[in-house]
Amino acid sequence: MRESRSAELSRDLVSAGICFEREVPLSRFTTLGLGGPAEILARPRSVDEVQTIFELTSNHDVPIKVLGAGSNLIVNDSGVAGVVVHTASLDSVSIREDGIVQAGAGCNFPALVRRTASAGWRGLESGVGIPGSLGGVLTMNAGAYKFSVGVHVEEVVAASLTSGKVILPKTSINFRYRSSSFGPELVVVGAKLSLVADSVADIRADMEEYMRFRKQTQPVGVKSAGCIFKNPEGSSAGKLLDDLGLKGFSIGKARISEVHANFIVHEGDSSTDEVLALIEAVREKVQVSAHIELEQEVMTWH
């Protein structure tokens, strides 16, 4: 069934000139380094191609998921059915003289931060250590050190199954703590951000300070999916887990980081099942000991 559906959809994608691969291990595309194959991984190069993928998947009644840098994502070991739209090729960037930055959803966010800083535009520097794509960062309203990307958004460009290309002005978007109002019917393809002129040296100095601090307080350079849980109102999930003595607690090869307790890390040899079992075990311990229901921040594809 999956085989014949894939074959039919593949023929249509070839006819439409869309780049794609079949049965691609998503472990290659997640910072956690885990996850089974995507039935089809498509790499659109324009909003029109995203639209075409929407139409084809809708014709074949195939589910669609959007993948950015895979940095806030846990993919199950058996993989995902349908089409995964990888935004990596939507990576154009232009910086106007008034500090308006127009960038594609597939841009690597830290690279975008460094590029805008080098051009003398302040605003994104505290996000230099956020290992996402711009599209992912916008959809999650990711942030660090009191910064959330949403505050710099002028407009977001998205593809919608029903309305084609849509331009969402900032007033129509609701950015909240680690979430936004973009529904599953929209694929974010790019955005205009508004930044402020400043000295390159000053912005770079701040940026490097944020990076230094991040390296001291978070596990950098190891396989993880970033913070697992959202912070409960008024406290820190990391501190909560640390206070319960959970640093180093493990299931199989997946363990709670010794550097920051809201991260799960492994040496490259764990499985998604172990990571999910660890998340559940920790959630239960916090529920029993602290009577707090932790909400997952990281996204899970089942």
Q: How many chain residues bind ligand EPU (CB under 6 A)? A: 16
Closer to ligand EPU by Cβ: residue 20 or 229: 229
**Distance separating alpha carbons of residues 136 and 184, to the nearest angstrom:** 13
Interface with ligand EPU (CB under 6 A), residue from 262, 270, 271, 272: 262
Q: Does 242 bind ligand EPU (CB under 6 A)?
A: yes
Q: Does 261 bind ligand EPU (CB under 6 A)?
A: yes
Interface with ligand EPU (CB under 6 A), residue from 49, 104, 297, 301: 297
Active-site position among 178, 204, 214, 283: 178
| Pairing between β-strand 37-42 and β-strand 164-169 as defined by DSSP bridges | unpaired
Interface with ligand EPU (CB under 6 A), residue from 226, 265, 282, 286: 226
Residues 125-154 close enough to bind ligand EPU by CB under 6 A: 144-145
Q: Does 231 bind ligand EPU (CB under 6 A)?
A: yes
Active-site position among 49, 122, 125, 227: 227
Interface with ligand EPU (CB under 6 A), residue from 227, 265, 286, 294: 227
**Distance separating alpha carbons of residues 82 and 57, to the nearest angstrom:** 8
Q: Does 238 bind ligand EPU (CB under 6 A)?
A: yes
Active site residue 297: yes
Active site residue 178: yes
**Distance separating alpha carbons of residues 150 and 100, to the nearest angstrom:** 14
Least separation in angstroms between CB 222 and ligand EPU = 13
* Cα 83-300-130 angle, rounded to 5 deg: 95
Q: Decide: 75 and 35 in contact? Cβ < 8 Å.
A: yes
Active site residues: 178, 227, 297
Residues engaged in binding ligand EPU (CB under 6 A): 144-145, 217, 226-227, 230-231, 236-239, 242, 260-262, 297
